[in-house]
Copies of this chain bind each other. A is one copy, B any other.
Amino acid sequence: MENLGQITEFKSSPELVEKLYQYSIQKNYEPGSIILNENANIHSIPIVTKGMIKVIRTEEDGREILLYYIKSGESCIMSFLGGLHNETSKVKAEVEEEAEILFLPVDKVSLFIKEYPQWLDYIFRLYHKRFEELLDIINAIAFKKVDERLLNLLHKKSALTQSNIIQTTHEQLANELGTARVVVSRLLKQLEENGNVQLGRNKIIITEG
């Protein structure tokens, strides 16, 4: 998705698409860049047009947990509400894959809601999606064991990158799951023994499913 015109809700309104491009500022980011920091003020909302971003919740002591990914064509809906209410961000957003992002000033966000019903539909759809993802996360951390969550995460990453080779470190995975590196190493070893994965340096190969 390199063109906002491809977004379902926007197909019926080229005018909206044009306005979006007109009022947004485009920026490019390398993997690892921080788009949005916890407690940062929000002046504009990001719409991802290329690449992928991950949204992370952090605890004061530095521990983190992955909430969800923002894929191309999607926006960070938390920024949206935060911006609307003039609040600071409750999450951190980090670039996972080289990304191109449009930043739309919050005043335009509100304006477009009044003028373009498609824009509101878009926002609602994303809201809905994020809500469900958060519910899934809650179920996972409340009821699932770490090994199952780990395997799920690997599958999700595999699906996102459309490859069964995952480039990451145990430390990374531990952060995203909100646990410690040793735990991940231990469980990965088990998964390898069970034939679920094959381990390498900075690399995990999924050998089933």
Contact between A81 and B142, CB atoms less than 8 A apart: no
Q: What is the interface of chain A mostly: helix, strand, loop, or mixed?
A: helix
CB-nearest residue of chain B to A90: B135
A76 smallest CB distance to B (angstroms): 12
Apart from the given pairs A57-B135, A127-B127, 6 other A-B contacts in the complex at a CB distance below 8 Å: A65-B138, A78-B131, A82-B128, A85-B128, A142-B178, A143-B178
Q: Does A141 contact B (CB under 8 A)?
A: yes
| Known contacts A134-B138, A138-B134, A178-B142; A124/B91 CB under 8 A | no
The interface-forming segment of A113-121, A163-171, A180-188 is: A113-121
Contact between A131 and B128, CB atoms less than 8 A apart: no
Point out residues on A near B: beta carbons under 8 Å. Answer: 57, 59, 61, 63, 65, 67, 78, 81-82, 84-85, 90-91, 113-114, 117, 120, 124-125, 127-128, 130-132, 134-135, 137-139, 141-143, 178
Tallying the copies of this chain within the complex gives 2
Contact between A63 and B128, CB atoms less than 8 A apart: no
Contact between B65 and A124, CB atoms less than 8 A apart: no
A135 partner residues in chain B, CB cutoff 8 A? 57, 90-91, 134
A132 smallest CB distance to B (angstroms): 7
Q: List 22 A-B contacts (CB under 8 A).
A: A57-B139, A57-B142, A59-B139, A59-B142, A63-B142, A65-B139, A65-B142, A67-B138, A78-B131, A81-B127, A81-B128, A84-B124, A85-B128, A113-B120, A127-B127, A130-B131, A131-B134, A134-B135, A134-B138, A141-B141, A142-B178, A143-B178
CB-nearest residue of chain B to A114: B117
A113 partner residues in chain B, CB cutoff 8 A? 120
A178 partner residues in chain B, CB cutoff 8 A? 142-143
A91, A120, A132, A139, most chain B CB atoms within 10 A: A139
Separation of A90 and B178 alpha carbons in the complex (Å): 24
Contact among B63, B128, B134 for A134, CB-based, below 8 A: B134
